Amino acid sequence: MVEVEEPQDYLDVFQSQRGGFSFENCKRNAYLAAQANIKPPTAMKSGTTICGIQLKDAVILAADTRATEGPMVADKNCEKLHYISKNVFCAGAGTAADLQHTCEMMESQMELLRMATGTEPRVCTVVRRLSSMLFKYQGYIGCALVLGGVDVTGPHLYQIYPHGSTDKLPFTTMGSGSLAAMAIMEAEYNENLSIEDGKKLVAKAIRAGIFNDLGSGGNVDVCVITKETGGAILRNYEKPNERKFKAQHAAFPKGTTPILKEEIMKLVSVEEDVVMRD
């Protein structure tokens, strides 16, 4: 009888499983940090404000447009509203690369499902697949999502965390500016709002995040999803931080930098009447 050695600790359990991330360098990294006094890189704090509301016949999502790299603003007009299918969209907070590739993967899966079944995917199907995928990676994929859509059962709004847990809510906010945005939502949300009033509410919530959180900024993007028309992204719906006075960069006049020497070198010689034969 052959005895199988049981995994000894939490790390060995992960190493004994197939698929997912590899944790084989964890012990090596711990040794380098303890013995060689080499500090491992620290995770950067991400900053975003995203929100969503569910109305009687529609779902409205919104997001700011600032992408950061630590203390630096990497992109002032980044897109954080992602297409999943014609009737399902999501707003993403967290790691930009993880969000983009996760949404692209989910988009392809939903398109294959639509072609196989001949029907538009349901919102709960997208939520289930995202939740299962994120739970498998135990939070190492930095995707915090506000997902909304309208299917045959009506409008739905979900909140999905990086570890895979989900909530179904009438309104929600996520990201580093979520507290400021939630203050607006709790004070002014009403399920009987019209679509125009709903767009104004989510834009006001995002503005609260922009003005009260250093990680949020730029413009306000809004996405309206209805059963009749599907989803439509209103890019740069509001520009609360538009500069009134821009720096004038006058071009240097010709002759500012004198030319000391000019030399033209003929690097290739061209010969005429040359026939190339095999």
Q: What is the pLDDT of residue 278?
A: 54
The CATH number of the structural domain formed by 50-238 is: 3.60.20.10
Residues of the chain with CATH 3.60.20.10: 50-238
Q: Per residue of the chain (278 residues), what is the pLDDT tens digit?
A: 444 444 445 445 444 555 555 667 778 888 888 877 777 777 777 789 999 999 999 999 999 999 998 889 999 999 999 999 999 999 999 999 999 999 999 999 999 999 999 999 999 999 999 999 999 988 889 999 999 999 999 999 999 999 999 999 999 999 999 999 999 999 999 999 999 999 999 999 999 999 999 999 999 999 999 999 999 999 999 999 888 887 787 888 887 888 888 888 877 776 666 555 55
Query: Three-class SS string for the chain?
Result: CCCCCCCCCHHHHHHCCCCCCCCCCHHHHHHHHHHCCCCCCCCCCCCCCEEEEECCCEEEEEEECCEEECCEEEECCCCCEEEEECCEEEEEEECHHHHHHHHHHHHHHHHHHHHHHCCCCCHHHHHHHHHHHHHHCCCCCCEEEEEEEEECCEEEEEEECCCCCEEECCEEEECCCHHHHHHHHHHHCCCCCCHHHHHHHHHHHHHHHHHHCCCCCCCEEEEEEECCCEEEEEEEEECCCCCCCCCCCCCCCCCCCCCCCCCCCCCCCCCCCCCCCC
How far is the C-alpha of 66 from the C-alpha of 46, rounded, in Å?
Answer: 10
Catalytic status, residue 117: no
Q: Exactly one of 48, 65, 166, 173 is catalytic; which is it?
A: 48
Q: What is the pLDDT of residue 275?
A: 55
